[in-house]
Amino acid sequence: MNAPHKTEHQPSATAVQKCISPDCAAEFSLRERIYVCRRCGEPLEIDCGLEKVADLESLKGRWASRATSRDARDRSGVWRYREVLPFDDRAPIVTLFEGNTPIYDAPKCAQYAGLTALTLKHQGANPTGSFKDTGMTAAVTQAVISGARAVVCASTGNTAASLAAYAARANLKCVVLLPEGQVSAAKLAQSMDYGATILEVAGNFDDCMRLTQELADVEWIYIANSVNPFRIEGQKTVAYELMMQRDWQVPDHVVVPGGNMGNSSALGKGFAEMKRMGLIDHVPKLSIVQAEGAAPLAQLFSKLGQANSAPEIETVSNPKTLATAIKIGAPISWKKALRAVLQSGGNVISVTEQELADAKAMIGREGIGCEPASAATVAGIKKLTAAGKIGKNEAVVAVLTGNVLKDPDYVAHYHRGTLSLETGAQVDGAKSQLVSGAFRNAPRRVAATKEAIIESVERAH
């Protein structure tokens, strides 16, 4: 935990937790430890009372200058933007200097997707290897402020690793609920190393999420999943950082993977706030890509506008995908995410395991590693471009959410030709079909001679 320092701002006195339902719009104090509206049960978000900024250049310059500061808040790519966060100067911030993640040009991925150019924003460069850190710094800071003794989350691996790390920094107990046998060994190892109490639940992620929500009324426990509006506040700063990296030039499209939907909700909120403040004059089209076997929001989106169709999600009781980070059939933040997509004019689609796996391999050919769920973005961009929903010459940013080392087994199976949803298992009486990688790069056996090495090098693509 880092000591607070005197800064140039105070949060708006009008900052409140607010129900997202326009029919309710109930407001609650920031001090109240709640996760859904007490009046109607709908999700909450934090309204920081942000208004149009008179001196935009001064604010932009302040943010830019902090990048070279040694102040703990300035070194964080989240707390650097504290003017738009609901915390004051006395906040006992818990930080691992998250954010500050790179953007990369990706010409091979661009060609693969049918674009002139494509940019990758790699959130896997965060301290624990995923985008979760940008939200967890805010959520755990609020946990400390609220006097919680323990923090808890349901997770497919990344949230658990992130929460465990930040809880360790804050000297809080950490409990993570994981679906038994469905979490990458690499992610599980992180949570173990950071000292979390790990509970493997006989069920899927959605069962873990249900159990976590049932703990919300325990006074000394603080919930850190994306239902927590303070976590979304931290994650929204990714949008601010992206705009600074692009010299405030708004891209035409931003594409993200869709799991529990906190990431897309946060990005949508960040862009909407910047437009309200006058930092940008329009928002990019925000699109979400899900895995075909875990695509409840994509299914809902395809039905919008049809006669007698209600905007209510049909959960997937048994989600299936090798991209475990988005293997979620009942996303908790789908209403916020759908609102962001609709307000921006974006799309929600799904991609097959084959499309996702090949897109991941193509990202790797750029020299950039990512976990499987991240590759849903490039796979989705390829489909959206082919469908004419993204123009060939438009500016597109794909958000990569996790580091390649989050799931190294997936990489090995893909390149060795052994990747399948249920390798060696029986599915409907037949062996599970392999995902046949178009860009496989398996190791080759070679004789221990100079000549054999030279021959292999000459034959390499």
Long-range contacts of 438-444 (CB under 8 A, 24+ apart): 438/358, 438/361, 439/358, 439/361, 439/362, 439/365, 440/361, 440/414, 440/415, 440/416, 441/361, 441/415, 442/415, 442/416, 442/417, 443/416
Residue extents of the structural domains in the chain = 103-128+230-410, 417-459
For residue range 372-417, list pLDDT tens digits in order: 999 999 999 999 999 999 999 999 999 999 999 999 999 999 999 9
pLDDT above 60: residue 431:
no
Q: What pLDDT score was predicted for residue 308?
A: 59
pLDDT above 90: residue 1:
no
pLDDT above 60: residue 109:
yes
Q: What pLDDT score was predicted for residue 14?
A: 78
Sign of CA dihedral 172, 200, 258, 47: negative
Helix (H) or strand (E) holding 27, with range, is: strand 27-28
CB 315 within 8 A of CB 328: no
Burial class (CB in 10 A: 0-12, 13-18, 19+), 200: middle
Instruction: Please state, in angstroms and rounded to a whole number, the distance separating the CA atoms of residues 11 and 85.
Output: 7
Residue 174: strand pairing partners: 151
The residue-averaged pLDDT of 48-60 equals 94
pLDDT above 90: residue 293:
yes
Q: What pLDDT score was predicted for residue 7?
A: 40
Better pLDDT: 38 or 2:
38
- Give percent above pLDDT 70 in the chain: 94
CA neighbor of 140 nearest in space, from 175, 97, 98, 170: 170
Instruction: Please state, in angstroms and rounded to a whole number, the distance separating the CA atoms of residues 212 and 222.
Output: 10
For residue range 186-222, list pLDDT tens digits in order: 999 999 999 999 999 999 998 999 999 999 889 999 9
Query: How much is the mean pLDDT over the chain?
Result: 92
Pair of tokens at residue 254:
């931003």
Pairing of strands 426-427, 16-19: unpaired
Q: What pLDDT score was predicted for residue 250?
A: 98
Instruction: Please state, in angstroms and rounded to a whole number, the distance separating the CA atoms of residues 128 and 233.
Output: 19
Pair of tokens at residue 419:
């990747």
The residue-averaged pLDDT of 362-366 equals 98
CATH number attached to the domain at 103-128+230-410: 3.40.50.1100
Q: What is the pTM of this model?
A: 0.92
3-state SS class at 400: strand
Strands (E) across 92-155 are located at 103-105, 119-122, 150-154
Confidence tier at 424 by pLDDT (50, 70, 90) = very low
For residue range 10-50, list pLDDT tens digits in order: 555 579 999 999 999 999 999 999 999 999 999 999 999 99
Better pLDDT: 356 or 423:
356
